[in-house]
Chains A and B, each alone.
Chain A
Amino acid sequence: MSFNFFIFAIAPSDWQTLSALLLLLLPCSLLLPAWLAGRRHPQSDHAWRFAQAITLFALLTTLLSMFVVGNDGPVTVVSAAWLPAVRLDTLTLAMLALTSFLGWVIVRYSRNYLAGDRGRGRYLSWLCLTLAPVWWLVMLNNLLLVCLCWTATGFALHNLLTFYHTRPAAILAAHKKFLISRAADLMTLTATLLVYLNLNTLQIDRITQALATGHPVNGGIELAALLFVLSAILKCAQLPFHGWLLQVMEAPTPVSAMLHAGIVNIGGFILLRLSALLETTPAAQLLLVIAGSITATLAALVMMTRISIKVMLAWSTCAQMGFMLLEIGLGAYSLALLHLLAHSLYKAYAFLNAGETVARQRLLNLVPSERQPVVGVHLLALVGLLLILGLAGFLTGIDPRQEPAMWVLGGAVASTILPLVSAPVGARALPVRQIIMLFLSAFGLASLYGVWHVLFAHLMPMSPTPPGHLALWFAGGCLLSLLIVQHIVLGRPNGSVSRWLHPRAFAGFHLDELVSHIALRVWPTRLMIETKTPAVVLRPDFKNKENI
């Protein structure tokens, strides 16, 4: 069915041009509130209303473009010769929908949250300037522009991370991030250059097409793929370059939400965008799987030892990004996209709602938890688990024999529902009703996973080449050992394994201190803005105006 049915005067290509133009204009329009907010009084609300309207409009434009793509299929639109081409496809629109929705939520939230803060206007300016390049980079077809936008986002974000620039911890974390991001920028630019030299184009669609139609793969292209993977590893806060992500709690909560939900995952997006390039180089894929699996495993383990809510969430992001990269490395692009979207929304909510921790804790304390899962999973639980997985897999058509990646990813689903089906084993006298409910929940989760699998497979194809055995075994081994270690330390928290491992995990395996030390050696920064305060006069300026 064509669009002409509704509005007959405009041809399909006009619709494409219109939405491409609108999309291109959106980030430009964000510059207006950014400028306004910098000029007006910090407590003035005009710029905020404006920014909110733009994000909402962006969401509507994305919906319009979804109709266009739904109707015409994915296209690359050149609206004018002097304008950069816009890619209209699932990936662009999914990312646009995500970032404009989150942008709307975060602007709306920050408007009240930062009320009374002297830097409120400055905050909005940088928020808009961070968001605008993100929008461009998800829609543009030119690889160089994409990479430049990625860099620009990082620069703008730096100003949000150092929003309270009198806090030494904020300066240190932002500085670390700055160094790591610049290293990553250097890699992406080099890789872009390599791609251009070898394929003679910077247009992503042409690159994809060339590689898919059997353009010979040489060392230059392989190096480019490796460099893109490395920069994604750096920018997705994979171990041991994760420290900055954990320490940017020194910025207001919505900045954390923005960073964890909309920016740290761009590395994943770039790799999805360049999946054709990635597939040319099995070594790059393997590297991605190895880095992702190790980070997912270790960061998840560390996460269980965290004692403050926001840092716990940050370690969780680190682990989840590892899992997303692992999925990309295994070629499960559709699931990686699902993970990217789902994690962003989940983490944004978790951060913005972090103040609710106390109330939620009170509620959970009413009925003290039976947290400790038993070490040996009861046979019944295991049978239940396999039955549930088998049934859900059968109903939704997931077959690991067809899709080898599902051996590993399906395993992750198995460990998700394991606490539910093994709960009756740990508890003494659980009512039958509760057991049934838990099993039903487990079945619901497994089936829902299958449904997502089917839906997203339509949106984003899987990799045509199955993952290598080494990658599969490595990823599977990491996730399985995480499961085993977790069961050992939670089952016997006072056992020797737990006592040996806990201090190390609590210290984050000492990785970050090492990296910070080196970073400060390589490129020191001033941690204090004021001149040195003498020890004898430590009374702070107590108007605290800077802080509020």
Chain B
Amino acid sequence: MNAAVQSCAFASSGEQHNAIHHAVQAACRRIAPTWPLDRFIAVNPWWGFVDQPVQVASDSIGHLCGSPLTMPMDWYLNQYEQGHITDEALGVALRRHGIDTGIDNRIDKFKQTCVKNSSQPVRLALLTDVLDEQRDLLQPTCQDVVTHAIGQHCASWFDQHQASWRPTHNTSLYAAWRDIASHDNAPSLSTGISGIASRIAALPQTHDELIGVVCAALKLTQEEYENYFSALLFSVNGWAAWCAYLRWQAEQQGQTDDHLEQLLAIRLAWEWVLMEDKTSEALLGEWLLTRQKQRNVTDKLNTAVHPNNPAWIWQDALEITWQQHVNSGLLNATLPQKQPARPALQAVFCIDVRSEPMRRALEASNPAIRTHGFAGFFGLPIEYLPLASRHARPQLPGLLAPQLRAVSTAANPSATQRISAKRRFRLGIAQAWENVRTNASSGFGFVEITGLSAAWKLLRASLYGASAVGSDTGGLNAAECNLLHPVLEGITLDDSIELAARVLHAMSLQNDFAPLVLLVGHGSQSANNSHAAGLDCGACCGQTGEINARVLANLLNKPEVRAGLRVKGIALPHDTRFVAGLHNTTTDDIRLFESPLANGTELTQARDWIVQASQRIRAERAPSLNLVGKTPAALAAAFQQRAMDWSQTRPEWGLANNAAFIAAPRERTRHMNLQGRSFLHDYNYANDVNHSVLELILTAPVIVAHWINMQYFASTIDNRRWGSGNKVLHNVVGGNIGVFEGNGGDLRIGLPLQSLHNGENWVHTPLRLSVWIEAPRDAISDVVRRHEKLRQLVHGQWLYLFCIEPDSNRIFRYAVPDTNQQHQQNQPAWVSETLLSI
């Protein structure tokens, strides 16, 4: 074997080396990152494919992973039967796919073909698949053994928190694997393939060399490299995504990271070492045959189905049906002719879909309440350093790098110092106890002495519930928490004024300030939930929005900042006060961080309205949680209990069913019930002279919303691959890296099944994001033209883009230019949306 490897090494020429290098880079770029559980923001798992139109990507992903980007046909037919897809919408979808529906029974004929037709994508066969084909069912599959082995090695390599005994790394991921695996007989024992360890020992020293050598030895052609590499990486998708995250972080700081290449090398090496010498020729021959057969099938499928894949026609029709509802609502808006009077209360919420019902409920408390929507990090590019800690955490969207730092302070430095010392003391003691608990030799006595006290913990958690100790309040008592407030560290007055002006401008909040302006971030409350951060604010990097709201309120309440703002033309009335709040999306309460300056009566009034709003929205949500026929107080208690229930795997479904993004003045949507399905961003194009705010909206919040939308989409269409599976089996890896489903295997990314499914039905309907912008068409086209990623998303139909034309009160759809001329700078065609009769 060694000799074979050597001779192959000589065969690889420089040209081939280049081809391999390019293919490796291309395959690695296909992998989207996954964030750690303590900042679990949503990601489009197909972010590496957005350079292709979505249907093309669907075919490629189907080819590489075995699952397309659409739901199964019977699901669509079921949606049709339930009326979620109308005949009219299906007709439109068919026409968009170039199928003439002039003859009426075309639609019926199409439906009939769909009932019969259910083609599965053909997955690119790996060598392990061919091996598994030949084996009996009494042994674990090679694929499972390899995935498990890689999973364990990666977990051990990347773990920072779980294991108490971790030698630091002095080699690379690949070299360490080669070193350890060459002494490990376990894979041979469990697969029954002999000599794996000795073949690993004979592998090249570096991952670069290995890829070249094995490619040559496996007799792959250059055209096959990229797809084969991608398929290999997708077979260990979770860890690949983790490596991609490390790369993402490194690139944000201007560095590089090659863990992904090393992971690829390890997976590739496994293909090679599983072949025994005596059978390798036959196996390679069979693999070649399988690949050829597959290529024929794939080619036939692609020409036959694409571009008129029936599943995509149904998907389009489903989306069109929903868009029609929104369109008719948007066009029914009664826009006020005259300036309204000064509002009694303003509240700025995050654009999050869960803010929409809350805003609706709050506005229903009094017509003089005005609500606004803006990204929940409130435009502050900050990281937050908790008191007494040395590790700052980002509080801004994952796409951006922090520029400023917020810290917690009390009224004066000495008080801050005192509280900080106390906290360090308490956390230090907790840390010492943790050492006693987790050390090998101290565990026996520790359990024997303190174990009985767990009876009390079990009793309390069962009867009363548990509340997660937040990292913001841990080690502090309630009184100390109240003394602390977050502020920006080391920022000059000029910069503060500049920042404040920029934020207010981006919020379209320039005049008509109410006496009380609430800045409401959001956070979710759940107990015993490893994916808790996934329900927090995505714009705050999977944290609660509390810090950002409080920092901004503090900034805008400063008299010297206001004086500076006045110079810049933003006149804040003297009696206007900003108060930060936190919307608890599980219980739908809003907690206000009371500013001592705020006007008493107005605050009391606001609290009253908020209580009414909370009651209204809880009543609205109750049926979906099987809580009907309860008084408002009982309902509030039931919601609270649910949030604290340590056995609750479905604390909330607030983000499920997201489907729309609307950037317009609130008057456009105020009369609509969007059922918590829409991200709402306030945008007034008249105030945005140079369209800089428009550009910001389309390139930041829209992308974040798209990521959330696609995370839910992907986790729903194939939860085994893009979701993290069954929550009752979850097993947290490395303290915060992610979860295994069960013992081990691959790292699982995406959302748990319980976040998407209520046991009977999906609670999320996978729709691509539809974006409505109230702005002139040309301005939107201009932004789309200038930003490559956005253009790819829109042109590739990863999302829909609509323009609400303010003057004509019409809605236009951004129709994708013909694919044949895609590379020319052609004008986008805006197509007027006609309302179908629904």
Q: Which residues of A pack against B, CB within 8 Å? A: 43, 101-102, 104-105, 108-118, 164, 167-170, 172-173, 246-247, 249-253, 296, 300-301, 303-312, 316, 319-320, 323, 335, 338-339, 341-346, 348-350, 352-371, 373, 412-420, 423, 430-431, 433-434, 437-438, 441, 445, 448-449, 452, 479, 482-483, 486, 489-490, 493-494, 498-499, 502-503, 505-507, 510, 513-514, 516-517, 520, 524-528, 532, 534-540, 542-544, 547-548
The 3 tightest CB contacts between A and B, nearest first, are A116-B759, A342-B451, A416-B445
Please state if B162 and A548 are interface contacts (CB–CB under 8 Å): no
Please state if B443 and A320 are interface contacts (CB–CB under 8 Å): yes
B123 in contact (CB, < 8 A): yes
Q: Report the minimal beta-carbon distance from B829 to chain A, rounded to whole angstroms.
A: 36
Q: How far is the CA of A335 from the CA of B448 in the complex (A)?
A: 8
Contact of B740 among A308, A356, A445, A542 (CB under 8 A): A308
Q: Report the minimal beta-carbon distance from A25 to chain B, rounded to whole angstroms.
A: 25
Residues of B within 8 A of A43 (CB): 759
User: Which residue on chain A has the smallest CB distance to residue B135?
Assistant: A532
* A513/B189 contact (C-beta < 8 A), A420-B432, A539-B66, A540-B720 known: yes
Q: Report the minimal beta-carbon distance from B64 to chain A, rounded to whole angstroms.
A: 11
Contact of A510 among B133, B161, B185, B386 (CB under 8 A): B185
Please state if B449 and A449 are interface contacts (CB–CB under 8 Å): yes
* A345/B183 contact (C-beta < 8 A), A416-B436, A490-B164, A513-B190 known: no
Please state if B647 and A113 are interface contacts (CB–CB under 8 Å): yes
User: Which residue on chain A has the smallest CB distance to residue B740?
Assistant: A308
B156 in contact (CB, < 8 A): yes
B506 in contact (CB, < 8 A): no
Given A112-B645, A356-B527, 14 more A-B residue pairs with CB atoms under 8 Å apart are A305-B163, A338-B452, A339-B448, A359-B469, A371-B164, A416-B444, A418-B442, A431-B425, A448-B450, A506-B180, A507-B186, A532-B137, A535-B129, A536-B297
Please state if A520 and B138 are interface contacts (CB–CB under 8 Å): yes
Please state if A516 and B167 are interface contacts (CB–CB under 8 Å): no
Q: Which of B499-542 contact A (CB under 8 A)?
A: 527-530, 532-533
Q: How far is the CA of A433 from the CA of B471 in the complex (A)?
A: 23
B726 in contact (CB, < 8 A): yes
Residues of A within 8 A of B440 (CB): 300-301, 303-304, 319, 482, 486
Q: How far is the CA of A415 from the CA of B435 in the complex (A)?
A: 12
Q: Report the minimal beta-carbon distance from B69 to chain A, rounded to whole angstroms.
A: 12
Residues of B within 8 A of A413 (CB): 445, 449
Residues of A within 8 A of B726 (CB): 164, 547-548
Interface stretch, picked from B48-56, B203-211, B397-405, B731-739, is B731-739
Q: Report the minimal beta-carbon distance from B348 to chain A, rounded to whole angstroms.
A: 28
* A493/B166 contact (C-beta < 8 A), A250-B742, A423-B432 known: yes
A-B contacts, 9 listed (Cβ < 8 Å): A169-B744, A253-B729, A353-B466, A365-B471, A371-B435, A486-B165, A532-B137, A536-B297, A539-B120
* A353/B732 contact (C-beta < 8 A), A358-B533, A367-B389 known: no
Q: Report the minimal beta-carbon distance from A474 to chain B, rounded to whole angstroms.
A: 16
Please state if A338 and B731 are interface contacts (CB–CB under 8 Å): no
Contact of A362 among B162, B428, B736 (CB under 8 A): B736
Q: Which of B12-65 contact A (CB under 8 A)?
A: 37-38
Please state if B138 and A362 are interface contacts (CB–CB under 8 Å): no
Interface flags for B373-398 (1: CB within 8 Å of A; 0: not) read 00000000000001011110000000
Interface flags for B101-118 (1: CB within 8 Å of A; 0: not) read 000000000000000000
Contact of A249 among B424, B449, B454, B729 (CB under 8 A): B729
* A516/B189 contact (C-beta < 8 A), A361-B38, A367-B389 known: yes
Please state if A113 and B425 are interface contacts (CB–CB under 8 Å): no
* A503/B183 contact (C-beta < 8 A), A110-B647, A307-B156, A542-B72 known: yes
User: Which residue on chain A has the smallest CB distance to residue B385?
Assistant: A366
B803 in contact (CB, < 8 A): no
Residues of B within 8 A of A514 (CB): 189
Interface stretch, picked from B238-246, B455-463, B663-671, B781-789, is B455-463
B757 in contact (CB, < 8 A): yes
Residues of B within 8 A of A111 (CB): 647
Please state if B137 and A528 are interface contacts (CB–CB under 8 Å): yes
Q: Report the minimal beta-carbon distance from A354 to chain B, rounded to whole angstroms.
A: 7
Please state if B468 and A369 are interface contacts (CB–CB under 8 Å): no
Q: How far is the CA of A361 from the CA of B393 in the complex (A)?
A: 14
User: Which residue on chain B has the smallest CB distance to residue A345?
Assistant: B454
Please state if B442 and A307 are interface contacts (CB–CB under 8 Å): no
* A308/B732 contact (C-beta < 8 A), A367-B428, A507-B186, A510-B184 known: yes
Please state if B140 and A116 are interface contacts (CB–CB under 8 Å): no
Q: Which of B396-439 contact A (CB under 8 A)?
A: 421, 424-425, 427-436, 438-439
Contact of B186 among A108, A355, A367, A513 (CB under 8 A): A513
Q: How far is the CA of A528 from the CA of B122 in the complex (A)?
A: 22
User: Which residue on chain A has the smallest CB distance to residue B526?
Assistant: A355
B302 in contact (CB, < 8 A): no
Q: How far is the CA of A40 from the CA of B445 in the complex (A)?
A: 46
Please state if A494 and B167 are interface contacts (CB–CB under 8 Å): yes
Interface flags for B448-487 (1: CB within 8 Å of A; 0: not) read 1111101101110110001011110011000000000000
Residues of B within 8 A of A170 (CB): 742
Please state if B444 and A296 are interface contacts (CB–CB under 8 Å): yes
B132 in contact (CB, < 8 A): yes
Q: Which of B265-318 contact A (CB under 8 A)?
A: 290, 294, 297
Q: Report the minimal beta-carbon distance from B415 to chain A, rounded to whole angstroms.
A: 18
Residues of B within 8 A of A253 (CB): 728-729
Please state if B133 and A517 are interface contacts (CB–CB under 8 Å): no
User: Which residue on chain B has the smallest CB distance to residue A541?
Assistant: B72
B492 in contact (CB, < 8 A): no
User: Which residue on chain B has the smallest CB distance to residue A322?
Assistant: B444
Please state if A346 and B450 are interface contacts (CB–CB under 8 Å): yes
Q: How far is the CA of A345 from the CA of B147 in the complex (A)?
A: 34
Q: How far is the CA of A320 from the CA of B152 in the complex (A)?
A: 24
* A489/B165 contact (C-beta < 8 A), A108-B647, A115-B649, A507-B184 known: yes
Q: How far is the CA of A74 from the CA of B137 in the complex (A)?
A: 54
Q: How far is the CA of A136 from the CA of B11 in the complex (A)?
A: 72
B743 in contact (CB, < 8 A): yes
Please state if B189 and A490 are interface contacts (CB–CB under 8 Å): no
* A352/B461 contact (C-beta < 8 A), A358-B37, A358-B530, A544-B757 known: yes
Residues of B within 8 A of A414 (CB): 445
Q: Report the minimal beta-carbon distance from B572 to chain A, rounded to whole angstroms.
A: 36
Residues of A within 8 A of B457 (CB): 349, 353
B796 in contact (CB, < 8 A): no
B198 in contact (CB, < 8 A): no
Q: How far is the CA of A265 from the CA of B447 in the complex (A)?
A: 14
Please state if A527 and B189 are interface contacts (CB–CB under 8 Å): no
Please state if A169 and B162 are interface contacts (CB–CB under 8 Å): no
Residues of A within 8 A of B155 (CB): 307-308
Please state if B431 and A527 are interface contacts (CB–CB under 8 Å): no
* A370/B431 contact (C-beta < 8 A), A304-B440, A353-B461 known: yes
Please state if A307 and B733 are interface contacts (CB–CB under 8 Å): yes
Please state if B528 and A448 are interface contacts (CB–CB under 8 Å): no
Please state if A169 and B743 are interface contacts (CB–CB under 8 Å): yes
Please state if A323 and B444 are interface contacts (CB–CB under 8 Å): yes
B7 in contact (CB, < 8 A): no
Interface flags for B128-165 (1: CB within 8 Å of A; 0: not) read 01101100011111001000000010011001011111
Interface flags for B55-95 (1: CB within 8 Å of A; 0: not) read 00000000000110001100000000000000000000000
* A363/B427 contact (C-beta < 8 A), A307-B155, A514-B189 known: yes
Contact of B732 among A341, A357, A540 (CB under 8 A): A357
